[in-house]
Amino acid sequence: MAKKLWEKNTTVNPEIERFTVGRDRELDLMLARYDVIGSIAHSTMLQSIGMLTKEEMDSLHSELRNIYSTIEKGEFVIEDGVEDVHSQVELMLTRRLGDTGKKIHSGRSRNDQVLVDLKLFARHELQEVCTAVKELFDALIEQSEKHKEVLLPGYTHLQVAMPSSFGLWFGAYAESLADDMLFLQAAYRMCNRNPLGSAAGYGSSFPLDRTMTTRLLGFDTMNYNVVYAQMGRGKSERNIAHALATVAGTLAKFAFDACMFNSQNFGFVKLPAECTTGSSIMPHKKNPDVFELIRAKCNRMQALPNDILLIMNNLPSGYFRDLQIIKELFLPAFAELKECIRMVTYTVERIEVNSTVINDSRYDAMFSVEEVNRLSAEGMPFRDAYKKVGLDIEAGTFVPDKKVHHTHEGSIGNLCNKEITALMESIYSSIDFEKANTAEQALLGK
């Protein structure tokens, strides 16, 4: 059994070890490639300040890239008795390089190692989330434009209210995602700051070049104050979780609409057959299980910021093991959200719209406001027009004019999809993913 990085002459009780390690071995596999990238940057910096020779650095880089290759192939494992990914990587380096492998930990702690791993991981995952959100946005805008002339009942209090359109419906969720992208942009910027060199939270007596590792890792800036770098653990995850939860909120609301509009009592849309499931007893059923699961998963995800807050909120400055538990909530959230976005995008691209909804007389009354406005435009006082139309409806004599003429910005006849698209493009294009991608590829020698 491998010794712990901190172990001296005392052997840890196996039950204590099991409890304290928790799910770290499992979850740290998600951080492995970023631990290698961080180690390449750190060892490059150590050589620049004379802590490693050029030959030692080159041998470390060669082995670290070999380890990265095993990670890419899915062959990397954290061995029994090894606490975490940091320990595993250092153990592998020491086995292959002897004392040179032992030198790589100079000037850093597992505290700032996990911080930089988490930030590199989150940075990568946020890029994938942003890309997926943009793809869903594009699908929604396309459907909005395609069906902009097709009217749809609008509701307040789940009562038929006023004319809407499928163009408005799809476009509303597109604009919601544009706002969500602002949160993702902010999360990326907060995430993209370098904590490496803060060590255990109080810096190091070695003359570390933190500006160098910031540049090598493609961070925008560093977390300057070493105490704050450690205080940022938990806070960063919470802030990123807020951005994920914002996207999840948009998806959950769309999922509710999709389930409701797909039901026979509404019949506004038809979900793709391959996106529905059947009943074991009722042969006619086509259940919107995909959207029901999306709704549940995304509603649960909206609790994530609060879950993280409750773990880290009452901790003083400095590192505490409580923060380990955040990883169990935080790391898997990205994959779940990305999967939900992909499912919604797939369905939006294939959803069928009922173009004859307003032919149903149940929706005649929603044109009452149009008639009130027509009478007002002709000179009748609004309150008189309102009363006249109301009495006509009660008497059963109201005959709707189903031609709707809305022209103001953001209305049925003027969706402003070009403006909404420009808004999304300005936010999305302002996130400099390429800087981080180029830096990581350079460290890996690609």
CB 199 within 8 A of CB 219: no
Domains and CATH numbers, the chain: 14-105 (1.10.275.10), 110-155+163-359+415-425 (1.20.200.10)
How many angstroms separate the CA atoms of 233 and 428, rounded?
Answer: 26
How many angstroms separate the CA atoms of 336 and 345, rounded?
Answer: 14
CA angle, corner 273, sides to 272 and 275, nearest 5? Answer: 70
Overall residue count recorded for the chain in this entry: 446
State pLDDT tens for residues 396-414. Answer: 999 999 999 899 999 999 9
Instruction: Give the confidence band of 1 by pLDDT, cuts at 50, 70, 90.
Output: very low
What does the pLDDT average to over 265-279? 84
Residue-level pLDDT at 381: 94
| Structure tokens belonging to residue 128 | 């994938």
What does the pLDDT average to over 34-43? 98
State pLDDT tens for residues 276-330. Answer: 776 667 767 678 899 999 999 999 999 999 999 999 988 899 888 899 899 999 9
State pLDDT tens for residues 211-223. Answer: 999 999 999 999 9
How many angstroms separate the CA atoms of 190 and 87, rounded?
Answer: 28
State pLDDT tens for residues 224-240. Answer: 999 999 999 999 999 99
CA angle, corner 52, sides to 49 and 56, nearest 5? Answer: 145
Name the region of 227 (left: φ>0; alpha: ψ -120 to 50; beta: rest): alpha
How many angstroms separate the CA atoms of 244 and 30, rounded?
Answer: 18
Supply φ then ψ for residue 269, to 5 degrees: -135, 160
Structure-token match 């380890």, residue found: 67
CA torsion sign, 72 to 118 to 329 to 287?
A: negative
Residue-level pLDDT at 8: 53
How many angstroms separate the CA atoms of 14 and 21, rounded?
Answer: 10
Residue-level pLDDT at 219: 98
How many angstroms separate the CA atoms of 166 and 282, rounded?
Answer: 31
Instruction: Reduce the DSSP state of residue 411 to 3 states and report it.
Output: strand
| First-last CA distance in the chain | 35
State pLDDT tens for residues 348-378. Answer: 999 999 999 999 999 999 999 999 999 999 9
How many angstroms separate the CA atoms of 125 and 31, rounded?
Answer: 11
CB 215 within 8 A of CB 289: no
Q: What is the pTM of this model?
A: 0.92
Instruction: Give the confidence band of 6 by pLDDT, cuts at 50, 70, 90.
Output: very low
Would the pLDDT of 347 be above 80?
yes
Q: In the chain, what's the furthest Cα-to-Cα distance?
A: 94
What does the pLDDT average to over 163-188? 98
